[in-house]
Structures are given as C-alpha cells and as structure tokens.
C-alpha cells in the first residue's frame, strides 16, 4: 500500500527526532536514509499522480553561489511537482553577493518563504542559515558534503542491484572531496563495504576517519587492487569547483581513470556511477561512460526523485 508523502511527513513531525533539515549525510542515520530511499521509490513510481502535494501553498527559495545543471533543474521541477512555488536567487543578484552576512539573509527569507535550498562553498553557511532562518534548509552541495547526490546514488544502486547490502563499493578519484565524504558517512550507517582509492595526498585525513570510526571503510592508493570484485564503481571530476587550474593536483590522478583495463577484475554485473558533469578521457573514458550511460543518466534522473523525498519529509 502506498503511503502518501504528506502522511509520511506528518508522522515524521510527530516523531521523537524529526528531520527538519538536510545539511549532511553525517547528521542522518540508517533509519532516515532507508526511509528517504523508500519514499523516493514511491515518488518515482507515482510521478504525475501523487496522492497528496505536501508543498501546496508553499514558496521555496534557492540560493546558489556555484553553477549547476542537475541540482537546479531537479529542485525546481521537484518543488513544483509537490505543489509548491520556487524562486531562484543567484548570490550575484541578492545582497549576499555584496557582503550581507548569511545569518541576516536567513532571518529575512525565514519570514517570507517556507524553505531554502542552498548550493555554496562553505558548509558553515548552510548550518548558519538553518539556525537563523528557522525554516527547512537543504544542502544542495558544499565543499564538505553533497548529501542529495548520495541519496540519488543509493537509489540507483537499489534499482540496479536490488540492495547495497553485501556489496563492495569503490570510490575512485579525489578521496577528500564532498562526494567521497558523503559516501563514507553513508557506508558507516548502512554497513556496506566501501573502498576509497586515491593518491596519498588526496585521501581523507586521519582526523576525519577517526571521527567516522567504522571498520567497513578502507583507504588505498592502489586503484587496481581497490576495484577487484567491486559491485559499484563511482567516480567524480578530479578537481572540484573552485579548484580549476590546479594542474599539479590533477596530474596525480592519471592511474585513477575509470577505463576498460581497470574494470577487468570487477564483479559480474557491476555498475559504474558518475555524478556528472564528466570530463571524458580524464576521470572516465568516453568508451566506459557510453557503455554505462543508461545507469549514469538514470543516476542523474534520480536526483529529482531523491530530492522530492527530502522535500516531502521535511516540509511543514
């Protein structure tokens, strides 16, 4: 029996630990992750025919200081499909771009809109907005985490492989970026094996790994060994937004390209993920991207459904 998004939201608001924001995967747990993925499955299946619209009568704002294709489009479509209205605010077009503190912007918008979706550099900006705005706040990407993308990735793994339980997942590339950190937190809570394969200077720092403190996540500088028997191979651009031009760092990643040779020893039926945009012949070859294009673009589509699950869960 399908449980409507609104019904789930009402139950969530009455729980002992309601989900009021999505700031990071770190702040979630296994129960919340599973609930979000299950709801995303429901919302995907009922797209265009949702029994209730939990954002009806609501207006949400989007504040972006980083460029975006998938994030912006999926959130704008998602808010509208759940009955709400959406306004896009580039930081260059509002007073935030002229130096207004994020806490002041939050206190203004918190009196006018029902929720805010923020894509920016500093994780603290998202935290501060949630504290001062007193409205649901969603992290649409920061340098620290990319929680919405990981939810879409998990949904894709569930659809393609049935489960992540008992699977070996590998993240290959920059082991200390927002994608790898969010994957590490997801692995901690959901219990699947995760290997981060990265140049030594790009591995997650020891203090971060001590904070995570989980035995099912391992680090290596050997991408060939990491990928042996892998069910899920995930990669990302070698240089995150804001790092363009760091040629010395980029030069470290040559052995970490996802290509035909490195995939020879993966598990049968493995899938390749990429959060996009992809720089062909850098982190992934044209051949491998096109071979796995159905999965990769299904993963991109799943941003819409995963984010609708987040919106329906925290809407109030």
**Which residues carry out catalysis?**
119, 146, 149, 236, 275, 303
Q: Is 169 annotated as a binding residue?
A: no
Q: Is 116 annotated as a binding residue?
A: no
Q: Is 92 annotated as a binding residue?
A: no
Q: Is 98 annotated as a binding residue?
A: no
Q: Is 130 annotated as a binding residue?
A: no
Q: Is 239 annotated as a binding residue?
A: no
Q: Is 149 annotated as a binding residue?
A: yes
DSSP code per residue over the chain: -PPPHHHHHHHHHTSSS----B--STT--HHHHHHHHHHHHHHHHTTT--S--TTTT-EEEEEESS--SHHHHHHHHHHHHTT-EEEEEETTTSGGGGT--HHHHHHHHTTT-SEEEEE-S-HHHHHHHHHHH-S-EEE---SS--HHHHHHHHHHHHHHHS-STT-EEEEES-TTSHHHHHHHHHHHHH--EEEEE--GGGSPPHHHHHHH--TTEEEES-HHHHHTT-SEEEE--SS-TT-TT-HHHHGGGGGG-B-TTTTTTSPTT-EEEE-S---BTTTB-HHHHHHTHHHHHHHHHHHHHHHHHHHHHH--
Q: Is 241 annotated as a binding residue?
A: yes
Q: Is 119 annotated as a binding residue?
A: yes
Nearest C-alpha neighbor of 34 from the set 239, 286, 280, 306:
306
Cβ atoms of residues 280 and 250 within 8 Å: no
Nearest C-alpha neighbor of 137 from the set 119, 117, 114:
117
Q: Is 218 annotated as a binding residue?
A: no
CA separation for the pair 307, 152 (Å, rounded): 8
277 preceded by a cis bond (ω within 30 of 0): yes
Q: Which residues pair with 220 in a beta bridge?
A: 197
Q: Is 295 annotated as a binding residue?
A: no
Binding positions for carbamoyl phosphate: 68-71, 95, 119, 146-149, 275-276, 303
Binding positions for L-ornithine: 178, 236, 240-241
């Amino acid at each position: 029996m399908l449980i409507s998004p609104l019904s789930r939201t009402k139950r969530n608001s009455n729980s002992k630990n309601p989900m009021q924001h999505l700031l990071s995967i770190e702040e979630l747990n296994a129960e919340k992750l599973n609930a979000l993925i299950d709801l995303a499955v429901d919302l995907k299946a009922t797209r265009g025919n949702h029994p209730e619209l939990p954002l009806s009568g609501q207006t949400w704002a989007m504040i972006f200081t980083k460029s975006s294709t998938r994030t912006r489009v999926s959130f704008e479509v998602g808010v509208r499909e759940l009955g709400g209205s959406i306004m896009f605010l580039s930081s260059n077009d509002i007073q935030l771009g002229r130096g207004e503190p994020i806490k002041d912007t939050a206190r203004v918008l918190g009196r006018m809109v029902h929720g805010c979706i923020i894509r920016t550099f500093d994780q603290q900006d998202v935290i501060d907005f949630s504290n001062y705005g007193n409205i649901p706040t969603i992290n649409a990407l920061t340098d620290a985490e990319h929680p919405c993308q990981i939810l879409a990735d998990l949904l894709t793994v569930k659809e393609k492989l049935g489960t992540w339980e008992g699977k070996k997942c590998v993240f290959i590339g920059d082991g200390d970026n927002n994608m790898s950190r969010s994957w590490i937190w997801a692995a901690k809570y959901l219990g699947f094996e995760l290997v981060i394969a990265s140049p030594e200077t790009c591995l997650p720092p020891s203090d971060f790994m001590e904070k995570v403190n989980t035995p099912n996540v391992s680090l290596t500088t050997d991408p060939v060994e990491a990928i042996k028997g892998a069910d899920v191979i995930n990669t990302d651009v070698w240089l995150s937004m804001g790092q363009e031009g760091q040629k010395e760092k980029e030069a470290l990643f040559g052995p970490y390209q996802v290509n035909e040779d490195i995939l020879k020893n993966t598990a049968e039926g493995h899938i390749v993920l990429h959060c996009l945009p992809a720089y062909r012949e850098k982190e992934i070859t044209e051949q491998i991207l096109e071979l796995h294009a159905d999965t990769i673009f299904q993963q991109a589509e799943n941003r819409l459904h995963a984010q609708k699950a987040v919106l329906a869960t925290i809407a109030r």
